[in-house]
Amino acid sequence: MNQYLESKSRYEILDGLRGVAALVVVFYHLVECYPPEFTGKIFAHGYLAVDFFFALSGFVIGYAYDDRWGKMSLKAFFKRRIARLHPMVIFGVLVGVCFFYYTGGTELFNQVDGAAWWMVLIQALLLMLMIPLPASMDIRGWGELTSINGPIWTLMFEYVANIFYALVLRHLPKLGLGILVAFSALLTADLTLHLNLFGLLVSDWNSYSVIGGFVFDAEHVYIGYVRLLYPFLMGLMLCRLGWKIRLQHGFLVTSLLVLCMLGVPTLGGGVKVVDGVYQLACILFLFPLILAMGAGSSVCGKKSNRICKFLGDISYPLYITHYPLIYMHTSWAQRYPDAPLGTHILTGIGTLLVALFIAWSALKLYDEPVREWLKNHWLKKK
């Protein structure tokens, strides 16, 4: 039997917001190349875009699949998700391999120059298979579980969320899902307020924050799952409840909310708990508000529709391919810290433009053709 189901109509504003958040991530990572006293003032909360992506994912997964399980098997679901996500995972790894050795020559990435080529290729293969790497296999010097291309760690958690949804969450009634949402909210408070309920939060540099998840140890694995759970579960719950807020100029309003939320400087000075409370409020309350507004409002005019479509289309390729360029920009900034401010600004703009070019080229020349081929030869296969 052919179980292929055509895609549903999309929430254009939510697609557009995904693109806005992806652009903020790139800008935040560019700012991160510089000293903390600078990064704490400009888009200091850009890392919350990752948690927002998980919220968008929960809402969209619920909308796309909740009412299809009578017509779709587990196998068909997993095939659709692999076809949607994995081509760009592979491409992102390949981009990381191509740029890897260009990022050496600095104390920050002190293991790049000595990394054997065969180890780079082995790690590339493991990452294509979504196998996390322990710190002992680090070949860059940051201890990341995805040394070749940092953001791939979030795709590992995205896959976990999809598996959890297909095996467990789709069966849960609203009450059961609500209990999980409440429990995951408590876990989010554990991170942001540094309650340390389970004794796993041992680092000081990221205390009172959700920053983490990109190292393969007990603390970061815990942080990664906490960052995933509440946003994803809340997005799914919001979809099932059908809570929507309709307003005029919905895309403009929600985009400004996202930009303001991620652009707020670090709060509290030396009192970290103040910033932790802000992050908690964003995740628990502002995320669902933005989702409800985005889902309940409509795009006005062809121009706005084209903007949302462009941002939605480019969001995933941009997110998954930009970080190898960030490694390069970081290395350059480390080597030339005394270069004129204009030089740093121009180089940053150049890095952003190249990232956009790579993402758009990957989308049109690789991702869309590959997914179309997979749809016709794999998903529709009888």
pLDDT tens, residue by residue, 137-159 = 889 988 888 889 999 999 999 99
Mean pLDDT value of segment 44-51: 95
CB 184 within 8 A of CB 237: no
223 close to 279: Cβ distance less than 8 angstroms = no
CA pair distance 244, 238, nearest whole angstrom:
8
On the 0-12 / 13-18 / 19+ scale of CB atoms within 10 A, 30 is: buried
Tokens of 324: 């190898």
List, in order, residues 6 or more apart from 14 with CB less than 8 Å away: 56, 59, 60, 291, 294, 295, 312
Q: Transcribe 39-68 into DSSP letters.
A: HTTSSTTTTHHHHHHHHHHHHHHHHHHTT-
Amino acid identity at 270:
G
Measured in degrees and rounded to the nearest 5, phi and psi for residue 270 equal -85, -5
Residue 87: count other Cβ atoms within 10 Å of its Cβ. Answer: 20
CA-to-CA distance for 263 and 208, rounded, in angstroms? 18
Q: pTM to 2 decimals?
A: 0.95
Q: Specify the range with the lowest mean pLDDT, choosing from 8-12, 62-66, 193-197.
A: 8-12
pLDDT of residue 132: 87
C-alpha dist (Å) from residue 248 to 59, 168, 245, 289, 296:
21, 37, 10, 15, 10
**pLDDT for residue 314 is more than 90:** yes
pLDDT band at 379 (very low <50, low <70, confident <90, very high): confident
Cβ-contact 43, 30 below 8 angstroms:
no
What pLDDT digit, counting tens, does each position of 235-294 carry?
999 999 999 999 988 999 999 999 999 999 999 887 999 999 999 999 999 999 999 999
Averaged pLDDT of the chain: 92
Instruction: Report the pLDDT value the prediction gives residue 1, as an integer from 0 to 100.
Output: 45
User: Has residue 182 got a pLDDT over 50?
Assistant: yes
d(CA 181, CA 198): 19
SS3 state at 21: helix
pLDDT tens-digit profile of 52-103? 999 999 999 999 999 999 889 999 999 999 999 999 999 999 999 999 999 9
